[in-house]
Structure formats: structure tokens, C-alpha cells
Amino acid sequence: SDPVVMRADGTYLYLLPSVVDDINHCVSHVIRGEDHVTNSAVQLEMMEAIKPGSSVTFAHVPLLQGASGEALSKRIGSLSIMDLRESGFESLSICSLLARLGSSDSVEAYSSMQEMILDFDFNKYLGFRLSTSLIW
């Protein structure tokens, strides 16, 4: 089926504006929550229709969940970075967790942001390369 790209009131849904924005900003890699896996093929098709030959690599990481398995969301007042800071968590420890989330690496604290950057390898994550020739 064709994806819905515009609401009845004329405002655009996420799919089309994100594709246009990615093309305009020459985005090559997108890391996002696994709840967007189903959008990837549609977005690649839109990208190809708007600018033939363009492509992007997507990686999808697991969503953060609360103790009882519910999705964490800022819309429902879930724990925020500010809450973590006020609880005494160091920013580097939070970044260390996020840098390893979704990879096959064990979570260990980095000693610096530079170490974290040097250790980053896109191929370690739950990502995949999709091409516009993908056949469903």
C-alpha cells in the first residue's frame, strides 16, 4: 500500500519531511530506534524517487524500557537526562551506556569521549544496509 505522507489538515507526517531533510543535508547514516525499522524501505523508495541514486545507511537500536517492560517516552514523563544528572550519574557513564546500546559489546565505562569516538564502529550495531533495489 502507498504510505500516508500528509494529514487531512495539510501537515506532513514524519516520512516525507525526514527524507527531504536527509537529502538536503547529505545525510549518509541514520541511527534510530527499532520502532522505525518498518519505515526504512519506504524512506529509501521516497529518496530514490526524489533524488535518484541517493541512499542512506540505517542502524536501528533497541528502545529503552522501564522495569516492567513499558517503553520510555518523554511524552509520558519518563526519566530524562536531567533526572539522571540530578541523581548523580556522570555524563560520561550515560554516554558509555548509550554508545554500547544495541551493539554486541559489553557495557563498560569509557575514560573519555575521545576513547568512545575512536572505538565507534558502525558495523557493530543492529544496523543494516538497504538499497533502493530492495525487493519485498
Q: Whose CA is closest to 61, among 83, 39, 33, 82?
A: 33
Question: What is the mean pLDDT of the segment spanning 5-23?
Answer: 94
Radius of gyration, alpha carbons of the chain: 18
Question: What is the mean pLDDT of the segment spanning 90-99?
Answer: 87
Cα 76 from Cα 126, distance rounded (Å): 27
Q: Which amino acid is at 101?
A: L
> pTM for the complete prediction?
0.63
Q: Do the beta carbons of residue 80 and residue 54 sit within 8 Å?
A: no
Cα 101 from Cα 123, distance rounded (Å): 13
